[in-house]
Amino acid sequence: MQKFTMLIAILAIFSSCAKDAASTTGTDQANGGRKPAAEATYVSFSGYTWEVRNEAGTSGPGPNYWSNSSSNVWVDGAGHLHLKIRKDAATGRWYCPEVTTTQSFGYGTYVWKVEGAVDKLDRNIVLGLFNYKSGDNGHHEVDIEFARWGNNAWPNYNYTVYPATGSGNVSQTYELALNGTYSSYKFTRTATSVAYKGYHGHNLTEANSFFPWTTPAGYNVSTLALPVHMNLWLFEGSAPSNNQEVEIIIHSFTFTAA
């Protein structure tokens, strides 16, 4: 039987999708540890415009190489978004994808419908679905992350919320085992809390749900409108332990304002 597991303290070091600015190489710290791209690239997905991350060199999280190549990020004929970590045969480098909405979202419900074995990702792979205020590390972030943080003994499904001000995130983890490769994930933001829940399949009925969790009463959640990010990356920049490329398909993202 699956069990709820408290996130041990050391995982807090690794639990942010957008952190690791200190691990960058020659990056712009005011831009969240990113190097500015020479020219922005965009995709249209689920009714929103998303900027595709593209940088020279490496930057956090990871640090990793980030590419806007159509081999890393694309929308197929059915309107589904593909995110792929791929290895460049010529250089041996692994390239990661990230997309960010050009608009921000506030209170309401955020839902992702996903295709892929996110419960069976290699220990060095991280998939992040999240809100984040770029450049303000340690604050204004709401994460869903599929990751073992390099250790097969650690749970593979993570919720993390960073405060509006001050320090100290709150987190919960879970050992995820899906019924197939279709699953859905949501969180609901209010002025006082963030509430999470996952679902087997793409039908968000209570019978399909798992791992509900809400931030503790009184926790200092962000009240800002924030962009939505999705990324697929390598923990500590390490290649997948199985040396296999990874592709995840996002069927849809929806936001319903409160």
Tell me the pTM: 0.89
Pairing status of strand 98-101 against strand 41-45: unpaired
**Residue-wise over 188-202: b if at least 16 C-beta within 10 A, else e?**
bbeeebbebbbbbbe
Q: Give residue for tokens 């987190």.
A: 171
43-90 confidence digits (pLDDT tens):
999 999 999 999 999 999 999 999 999 999 999 999 999 999 999 999
Q: How many percent of the chain have pLDDT more than 90?
A: 84
- Residue 48: which of 231, 199, 198, 230 has the closest Cα? 230
Contact 231, 250 (CB under 8 A): no
User: What's the rounded mean pLDDT across residues 145-169?
Assistant: 98
As a whole number, mean pLDDT of residues 184-213 equals 98
Looking at per-residue pLDDT, the higher value among 20 and 250 belongs to 250
pLDDT at 25: 31
- Mean per-residue pLDDT, 235-255: 98
Residue 24 is predicted with a pLDDT of: 32
Instruction: Inform me whether the pLDDT recorded for 240 exceeds 80.
Output: yes
Asked whether residue 18 carries a pLDDT value surpassing 50, the answer given is no
> Does the structure show a pLDDT above 90 at 239?
yes
**pLDDT above 70 as % of the chain:** 85
- In this prediction, residues 109-137 reach a mean pLDDT of 97
State in words which class domain 4-257 has.
mainly beta
**Model confidence pLDDT, tens digit, residues 162-181:** 999 999 999 999 999 999 99
Check: CB of residue 62 under 8 Å from CB of residue 23.
yes
User: Where do the structural domains in the chain lie, given as residue ranges?
Assistant: 4-257
pLDDT of residue 38: 54
- Residue 138: CA count within 13 A, CB half-sphere: 7
Query: Is pLDDT of 13 > 60?
Result: no
Strands 73-75 and 64-66: unpaired
- The pLDDT value recorded for residue 39 is 76
